[in-house]
Structure 1
Amino acid sequence: MTTTSRHPWRNACAAALIGLAAVAAHAQDFKVGFVSTDRIFRESAAAKAAQTKLEQEFARREREVEALGSQLRTASEKFEKDAPTLSEAQRTTRQRQLVDQDREFQRKRREFQEDLNQRKNEELQQVLERANRIIKQVAEAEKYDLIIQEAVYINPKHDITGKVINALNGAK
């Protein structure tokens, strides 16, 4: 009897080892890179410029909302101070005014925040689109097979975020 017929698993193990060796050889050619989107948004000149643009665009409205909040606090403090000396009708009228003023403040603050968030998303989307074009250029130029943008863990040697930020800062 031959050795292979007594131990049929040997043929399967040998085939598996040959397959693993082929996969390992191919894996050495597989090049992976990682890009931190958060870091691009924090460190790139394009993201910083977008933030400055938003601050300038929304500064006036932010001051208006803050002024309304300040007026509401002042009116509320005045009411608290004056309440003991007011008649029931005056107290009720002032409470309604405060409720209306608070409702208006909350509405304006909500609208401001929604508009700001929408514009921020638009600006960051433009930065991300530019970054993605650069990531693709880097991947093609340096022959990457895969670029990952979010990961639980990545070995720092695969992080190409710095290259992307530098290219993004250099691109206009």
Structure 2
Amino acid sequence: MSLIYLQGYPENILEQVQTLIDHQRLGTFLQQRYPDTHNIVSDRALYDYTQALKNRYMRSAPPVSKVIWDNKIKVMKHALGLHTAISRVQGGNLKAKAEIRISTFFRLAPEAFLRMIVVHELAHLKEKEHDKAFYQLCCHMEPDYHQLEFDARLWMTDQAMRGNAA
């Protein structure tokens, strides 16, 4: 199986991952490292979870009007979640609303991976591009951001090998 979710990582890292796969230990490794799941299954619970993180780290950021699970997001095509800004004219005013959509694929993910995705999407409220400032903000909200992103990609690889569509 190709390591499609790990493209761009150094060859020595990919070799270590391939060894775990060859010995059928990737799932066990991830389960031991991330035993905690979450029970955030409704859109309301996801909104509340996101708002709690926003209120803790980004009080001055623009408000988020909607946070939902989205079964139309395909991880291979869109990434893990989407942040959209919707502008509407109301009377003579232009109203902007921020929305966050998270792939329903992550309803089954460990809580740490969901947190990483929500942090990523919240960071887009202030930083639109994936640049240094963006990743600094992600790491401010989640110090283990880069490790969690990598491990989430390992989890997606394991899920794909198990036949769970991502």
Asked if TM exceeds 0.5, the reply is no
TM-score, normalisation: structure 2? 0.21
Which of structures 1 and 2 has the bigger CA Rg? Answer: 1
Structure having the higher strand fraction is 2
* Higher relative contact order structure (alpha carbons within 8 Å, sequence separation ≥ 6): 1
Normalising by structure 1, report the TM-score.
0.21
Structure with bigger helix share is: 1
